[in-house]
Amino acid sequence: MEGTKKRRARSSTNCVGAVGLLLGSALWLSAGGCTDHRISLTQFLEMQQEAYVAEPTTQPAELQEQVRALVDRQLGPYRVGPSDELVVTLTGTEEAAVMPPVEVRVDRDGRIDLPLVGAISVAALEIEDVEDAVKAAFVPNVYRSAVVHVSVVEPDTTNVLVHGAVTLPGLVHLRRTERNLLFAIVAAGGISDIASGRVTLRRIRHPDEEVTLELTEPEELHAALALAPLEDGDIVHVEAATPNTIYTGGLLNAPRPQVLPPGANVTVLQAIAASGGLRTDVTPREATLIRRMPDGQDVHVKLDLDRVTTGEDPNILLAAGDILWVPDTIETRVQDFVNRNFFIRAGVVANVSYDVTGIEFLNRRSLQGARYGDRYGADIYDPYGSLIRNYALQSLATAP
């Protein structure tokens, strides 16, 4: 009996000594044993504000006017041209001024041939202007008055292949005034959610004229509108955007890359919740945001999770490629050491057990005694208050 007490006393003494040594090392490290090279959240937000200050436009007024004119021309009314098939109807008050509908095709010189008046030039005219030209040919030379109606039965089309990040990839048919990149993409259903805005044109008749444009930039849009008209067989490829991926790691329950749709916005707390929340066997209080800046340098930002969770610090948005790491600290290392090696059972006498770790004890009913009923020890014993502290983040991960 006395031997058992002595062994227990020695074990307690060794335990206290180990804990004391560990805590002493922790105090030494916290006093200056390591240097934190991270910048504060305030400094990071100031950097971001400076980086995104609106710069004065560098586009000359002439370029803006040219873009406007090109857009107006491309989006204006349809203009007839060679190979278009038209139907011309002419009626008047005179009995002789009734001509049945005549179907004509615009020839390669841009003219149509009608009975009684012969050839009429209609190349590049809008439909209303074609009607005026036909009326001028008949009135007053043939009839005193007449009403002319012209419609396009079958416009000449150009067949272009559009594929990549569009809604309806495949062969599209473009009318004469639609033979450009913008109309080709619209005819394919428009860009999809994964499109990057970068478009490549390959001309089957001129393979050396391949061109790649960023249509989100005004200068590139101007260049796209100024391109020579598309021809049969040309290929338009709409590139997909780089996957929007956020990387999480460290003291999280399910650290992993999170692949999101392009343009999706995710905050720090959302990324933590999507990774299963913070571990509850220790108490993580900080995180590190690692972001690659435009100049190629990585910026490390220290985040106070307690302050972010309570709203004292902003719950900032993450960007594609960001790394959100919840690192070990002195506090979490001490907690992990205690969890792995000791478990103090509350009671009249504090007994130290080396037969089972604290985590294992919390999750094995047979070690907890009948007084705990059917509940796990982790449900009733939370030495660091971490379960309650992380409850909000854990519930976010399971919210619909």
Q: Give the count of domains, the chain.
A: 3
Classify residue 3: in a domain, yes or no. Answer: yes
Classify residue 191: in a domain, yes or no. Answer: yes
The whole domain housing 128 covers: 85-154
Burial class (CB in 10 A: 0-12, 13-18, 19+), 292: middle
Pair 14, 280: CB distance under 8 Å: no
Strands 195-202, 266-267: pairing is unpaired
Note the pLDDT tens digit of each residue in 31-71: 444 577 898 888 888 887 776 554 444 445 555 566 566 66
Residue ending a domain, choose from 100, 123, 154: 154
Classify residue 339: in a domain, yes or no. Answer: no
The order of strands in the sheet holding 211-214 is 170-175, 157-164, 235-240, 195-202, 211-214
Same domain for 128 and 170? no
Note the pLDDT tens digit of each residue in 297-353: 899 999 999 999 999 999 999 988 899 999 999 999 988 888 887 755 444 444 444
Adjacent-strand bridge partners of 213: 199
Identify the band that residue 86 occupies on the pLDDT scale cut at 50, 70 and 90. Answer: very high
Secondary structure element (H or E) that encloses residue 286, with its range: strand 286-292
Residue 238 CA, distance from chain mean position: 16
0.85 exceeded by pTM? no
Q: Show the tokens assigned to 204.
A: 């089957």
What CATH number is associated with residue 101? 3.30.1950.10
Residue ending a domain, choose from 126, 154, 182: 154
Compute the distance between CA of residue 163 and CA of residue 170 in angstroms, rounded to an integer: 6
Compute the distance between CA of residue 153 and CA of residue 390 in angstroms, rounded to an integer: 69
